[in-house]
Amino acid sequence: MNVEIVNTGSELMLGRVLNTHQQWLCRRLADLGHVVTRQVAIADTGSEIQTAVREALSRADLVITTGGLGPTSDDITRELIAEMLGKKLIKNLDVLAHIENFFAKRGRPRPQKTDVETMVPEGALVFLNPTGTAPGLAIRVEPNLFRADKTPSWLVMLPGPPRELRPMFDVSIAPLVKREFADEIFVCRTLRTTGIGESRVQEMVADELQPLVQRGMEIGYCARPGAVDVRLTASGAEAVSVVQAGEAITQKVFGANVFGYDDDEIEQIVVRLFVEKKKTIALAESCTGGNIAHRLTNVPGASGIFLGSVVTYADSAKKKFLGVKPETLAAHGAVSEPVAREMALGARAKFGSDFAIAVTGIAGPSGGTPDKPVGTVFIALASALGVEVRRMQNTWDRETFKQVTAQQALDWLRLAVSA
Amino acid sequence: MNVEIVNTGSELMLGRVLNTHQQWLCRRLADLGHVVTRQVAIADTGSEIQTAVREALSRADLVITTGGLGPTSDDITRELIAEMLGKKLIKNLDVLAHIENFFAKRGRPRPQKTDVETMVPEGALVFLNPTGTAPGLAIRVEPNLFRADKTPSWLVMLPGPPRELRPMFDVSIAPLVKREFADEIFVCRTLRTTGIGESRVQEMVADELQPLVQRGMEIGYCARPGAVDVRLTASGAEAVSVVQAGEAITQKVFGANVFGYDDDEIEQIVVRLFVEKKKTIALAESCTGGNIAHRLTNVPGASGIFLGSVVTYADSAKKKFLGVKPETLAAHGAVSEPVAREMALGARAKFGSDFAIAVTGIAGPSGGTPDKPVGTVFIALASALGVEVRRMQNTWDRETFKQVTAQQALDWLRLAVSA
């Protein structure tokens, strides 16, 4: 089965908004067993929309368009598609009642402009909009004259705003897809690793997975700041068993370097582990500038295990808040093993936490020296067992440097609390 | 001129990652005067990539592909395109030296797998990767046999990771585009406002801009967390003058609520203003959890004006690091006007900064009360003039809450240092 998505909107082509529909719809459709084969974005002009939809109908069993169903002058998808399919637009009284009700509930008169939203192509299925006014539409194109063999296709039109599109897909379109297209078995499992580079990850696991690839499993590798994802996918009757076997092999190869699965972020894992073990965290951040604290506090429930962070950009703050000795700073400089050590010990003592992580380094773009080039960072971990310091070389742009360094610190917390 | 983008990657079609390349490249190309006409995403399988690139070459003067240039087995774009164009792959010694150096700098051996990255199609321009290993490639397809009239096209291949693609585009591709394609006049100016809701922004400015709309200017409004952008665009001979006139009107209507232009982030403006005025900042963050410090320290040069932050999630940390009085916490609770006041005063005194901002609030999803529902936040600003506290109600999900609250705090710093 072939599925294509057509996103319309001039704001997309001007690069003024991010196209979140692609990821969201692709994810939902993959979960239903149908991997999208092609996604196209075009401006909302007449010829572009008709060309793109015609091409999609020439290949796909299911075509989903987004955008262009609203009440303003650039919302022209409904009209253009009806014209292309030679279908009349007919006023739909259910839609009219829904829109009247939508505005009545909000104590506002129905704008005349919404008249256009009540017009639907003849023969279309109509999905009232649970969170807005423009309905979704689905047309079975039969015979499909755009296809060489005339096989029918489904054409689904969804409104552009994510808060309208998403519930409509879940409530109305997913059931339609399930009814009209045989469920295909499709399994996707992502193992998220950290601490190993992308090419090394593949070297370590590819040969071991090869027998499963011969049984139809596909492997994908995706490098992110401070993480490499190994994605295992398969379709068909054997899908569950080959992906499970692949997961077991991958897990064995990478062991504790696997920090999570699918959408897990390392900070979520850290918060969960610390909650389970009833341990607390404090931070002393210099070069990460609050990034570690920010990521931990994005996780609901972080307040149960995270006591706080001291972001000490200035040397004076390292002395005052963490008790770093002036002579240590003078002898070794702020970016050094001894200062990292004193920062971690200071944070643990001052906050009274079980674990404390300290980071001090050179984020760049300036500030490097031959001994300590931009990207040099010292990470220290203090716990009941004492304190340990590691030196890393994270040669990246400033924001990636912060992200990668934070990832290393969080990963160390993950491993330390599990030990 | 026709520009098309082809994004390759099975992870895109599976909905596992967001395609940020589309927005970023569309934006950059629009800034160069070339609005992208079509963007296509497809899986990284042989037939899909070749079909999509062939179709793009049949229409476009410039085709940009992303992804598939790395060292792993699913990185096949280079090979497929060379095959399609009938070009041999030749080992490039500059690329080899660059990759050797990349790994030497990081003290790691060069993985064998990176061999493939040194192979470039004959006749291609090669762009060494400033932030990674895989080079970018550009080929002038001449004659372009995929086009009816054989007009030559440029085919540019960029690596997938954003931290590699973006600098490479700016350093190497933008100059190529400027050299090879006549600039078209297209002007886009975005005024970034804060402190006013989206529909109110439109109400305030739309009528005043109407005469310019009749002269061909387009207006777009975009709501972001804690900001509303007003985007003015125009093409053709009058473009510069109508957009300049529109900017003057918009600036006048919103005054100090305009915090920046185009890609400005409020933290960049704050750092610039504090550097200019030679003033320093300290922070006491509770509910924003380090987000304000993280944003300020994303800006190169922040170390000159940012002394540090105390992220005090635990009440004990508020007392110990900031000198908040136990009786104030007992009488009013951590989320209160008096605690915010003492946090700001404490941070200013401890860090010895000119300005200090403190935030304490309820990020949610739990922790709200009838008096202080989720989203309640107190922001305090301490300076030589004393201390002032504002109460805000930021009813959003947890991450948006942090973002919006940080935006309000940063905006207050911006206005305070300019006063």
Query: How is A5-64 classified by DSSP, letter by letter?
Result: EEEE-HHHHTT-S--HHHHHHHHHHHHTT----EEEEE-S-HHHHHHHHHHHHHH-SEEE
Average pLDDT for chain B: 93
Alpha-carbon span A68 to A65, nearest angstrom: 9
Q: Which DSSP string corresponds to B221-286?
A: EEEETTEEEEEEEEESTTHHHHHHHHHHHHHHHHGGGEEEETT--HHHHHHHHHHHHT--EEEEES
Instruction: State both tokens at B70.
Output: 């790395």
Best of A5, A7, A17, A23 to substitute, by most chain B Cβ atoms within 10 angstroms, is A23
Q: In this prediction, what percent of chain B has a pLDDT beyond 70?
A: 99
* SS3 category, A344: helix
Q: What is the pLDDT of residue A4?
A: 98
Token pair of A406, please? 């934070």
**Nearest Cα residue in chain B from A261:** B16
Strands (DSSP E) found in A94-174: 119-121, 125-127, 136-141, 153-158
CB-based contact A312 B308, cutoff 8 Å: yes
Q: Which amino acid is at B144?
A: N
Flag whether residue A39 sits within 8 Å of chain B, measured between CB atoms.
yes
**Is the N-terminal amide bond of B365 cis, ω within 30° of 0?**
yes
Does the beta-carbon distance from A38 to B38 stay under 8 Å? no
Residues in chain A, pLDDT under 50? none
Mean pLDDT over B1-9 rounds to 95
Asked if the C-beta of B325 comes within 8 angstroms of chain A's C-beta atoms, the answer is no
B/e letters for A353-372, b = 16+ CB within 10 Å, e = fewer, are bbbbbbbbbbbbeebeeeeb
Q: Is the pLDDT of residue B184 over 80?
A: no
pLDDT band at B188 (very low <50, low <70, confident <90, very high): confident
The H or E element that residue B165 is part of is: helix B162-168
Rounded to the nearest 5 percent, the helix, strand and coil shares of chain A are 45, 25, 30
Candidates A26, A186, A399, partner chain B, best to mutate (most B CBs within 10 A): A26
Angle at CA of residue B304, ends B302 and B308, nearest 5°: 70
- Would you list the DSSP string of B303-342? GGTEEEEEEE-SHHHHHHHH---HHHHHHH-SSSHHHHHH
Flag whether pLDDT at B245 surpasses 90.
yes
Q: Which of B15, B22, B48 sits opposite A41 (nearest CB)?
A: B22
Q: Which two tokens stand for residue B312?
A: 């005090």
| Amino acid letter, residue A78 | R
Domain boundaries, chain A: 3-180, 186-261, 266-418
Q: Do A41 and B28 touch (CB under 8 A)?
A: no
**Best A7, A8, A14 residue to mutate vs chain B (most B CBs within 10 Å):** A14
CB-CB neighbors (< 8 A) of A41 in chain B: 22, 38-40
Q: Return the closest-CA partner of residue B355 out of B337, B324, B382, B390.
A: B382
Question: Nearest-CA neighbor of A166 among A114, A124, A138, A131?
Answer: A131
Kind of pairing between the strands at B89-91 and B227-235:
unpaired
Q: Which phi and psi (to 5°) does residue A234 adopt?
A: -160, 155
Which CATH number among 2.70.150.10, 3.30.70.2860, 3.40.630.30, 1.10.3720.10 corresponds to the domain B186-261?
3.30.70.2860
Cβ B85 vs Cβ B56: under 8 Å: no
Within 8 A by CB and 6+ apart from A220, the residues are: A229, A230, A231, A233, B10, B11, B74
d(CA A381, CA B76) in angstroms, rounded, equals 42
Of A11, A27, A366, the CB nearest to B15: A27
Cβ <8 Å between B297 and A317? no
The torsion defined by the Cα of B75, B76, B81 and B82, in degrees rounded to 10, comes to: 110
Contact B79, B68 (CB under 8 A): no
**Torsional sign, CA A16, A20, A21, A26:** positive
**Which of the following CATH numbers is that of domain B266-418: 3.90.950.20, 3.40.640.10, 3.90.76.10, 1.10.10.60?**
3.90.950.20
The residues, ordered by sequence, that sit 6+ positions from A279 with a Cβ below 8 Å of its Cβ are: A305, A354, A355, A417
pLDDT tens digit sequence for B134-177: 999 999 999 999 999 999 999 999 999 998 999 999 999 999 99
User: Cα separation of A302 and A281, whole Å?
Assistant: 10
Residue A40 has its nearest CB partner, among B40, B70, B367, at B40
Using the Cβ of B165 and the Cβ atoms of chain A, whether some distance falls under 8 Å is answered with: no
Q: Which residues of B145-164 are buried (b: 16+ CB within 10 A; e: fewer)?
A: ebbeeeeebbbbbbbbbbbb
Please report which confidence band the pLDDT of residue B398 belongs to, taking 50, 70 and 90 as the band edges. confident
| A3-180 has CATH 3.20.80.10 classification | no
A306 touches chain B (CB under 8 A): yes
> Best of B163, B297, B306 to disrupt the A interface by mutation (most A CBs within 10 Å)?
B297
The C-alpha atoms of residue B189 and residue B40 are separated, in whole angstroms, by 27
**C-alpha of A372 from chain center:** 35
Q: In terms of Cα–Cα distance, which of A81, A15, A93, A23 is closest to A54?
A: A81
In chain A, what residues touch B343 (CB-CB under 8 Å)?
none
Partner A contacted by B36 (CB < 8 A): yes
A-chain residues near B13 (CB < 8 A) = 26, 30, 35-37, 39
Which positions 348-387 of B are in contact with A (Cβ < 8 Å)?
350-352, 363-367
Task: Give me chain A's average pLDDT, please.
Answer: 93
* A14 has a chain B CB within 8 A of its CB: yes
For B13, the closest of A26, A203, A296 (CB atoms) is A26
- Partner residue facing A289 (CB), from B13, B111, B293: B293
Sign of CA dihedral A88, A94, A99, A104: positive
Chain B residue with Cα closest to A299: B398
R_g of chain A computed on alpha carbons: 28
pTM of the full predicted structure? 0.80
ipTM metric: 0.78
CA–CA distance, A187 with A238 (Å, rounded to integer): 10
pLDDT computed for residue A73 by the predictor:
66
B256-266 burial, b if ≥16 CB within 10 A, otherwise e? ebbbbeeeebb
- Integer Rg of chain B from CA: 26
Q: Return the residue of A nearest to B297 by Cα.
A: A289
How close B298 comes to chain A (CA, Å)? 6
Question: Is the CB of B308 less than 8 angstroms away from the CB of A311?
Answer: yes
For residue A250, give both structure tokens: 């991958």
CA distance B403 to A47: 40
Distance separating alpha carbons of residues A404 and B264, to the nearest angstrom: 24
CB-CB under 8 Å, A16 with B18: no
pLDDT given for residue A92 in this prediction? 96
pLDDT given at position A366: 87
Are A313 and B302 inside 8 Å of each other by CB? yes
Which 132-161 residues of chain B touch chain A by CB within 8 A?
Answer: 161
Handedness of CA A252, A224, A343, A285 (dihedral sign): negative
